[in-house]
Amino acid sequence: MKVILQEDIKALGKKGDIIEVKEGYARNYLLPKKLAVEANESNVKELNRQKKIKADRAEKERQEAEKIAEKIKAITVNLKVKSGENGKLFGAVTTKDIAENLVKIHKLKIDKRKIELDENIKSIGEYDIKIKLHPMVHAQLKVKVLPE
């Protein structure tokens, strides 16, 4: 019997997969627990429609991320921080500081968790920072740390 999985099931497949299972397993376990539905013509059409909607939404999100990446490439974030001799900072510049500056000065709201720092910035200088906007879209942001 062919069924469409409604949830991920270990050893069977992922949500949305059309699989062949024994009729007893489907009738006595999968269907009553709403883990699967029968793979009839209308259910398969609905599955394909949902997959198309999901793919369109993912493509739209990717395109929006690419637009934001273009804006980010043109931006340089200037952060003025207290520093001591030899250009060492009192404290560090974190992803939170960078995200707040992007919102305040450049009106770009980017989650601090998407900003990837290998380690916190602890000295004055210029840095190229990677921002992961989408699984397939990354942007480079220039950050200048200046003494106050």
CATH class of the domain at 2-61: alpha beta
- Residues 43, 4 contacting (CB under 8 angstroms): yes
Closest to 139 in 3D by CA, of 76, 65, 69? 69
pLDDT recorded at residue 83: 87
Q: Give average pLDDT by consecutive 10-residue segment, the chain, 148 residues.
A: 93 92 94 94 94 95 92 90 86 90 90 88 91 91 90
The phi, psi pair for 118, rounded to 5°, reads -65, -40
Q: Which CATH number fits domain 65-147: 3.10.430.100, 3.40.50.720, 3.40.50.300, 3.50.50.60?
A: 3.10.430.100
- Structural domain boundaries in the chain: 2-61, 65-147
d(CA 71, CA 140): 10
Equal CATH topology for 2-61 and 65-147? no
pLDDT recorded at residue 55: 94
pLDDT recorded at residue 148: 81
d(CA 114, CA 120): 15
pLDDT recorded at residue 114: 92
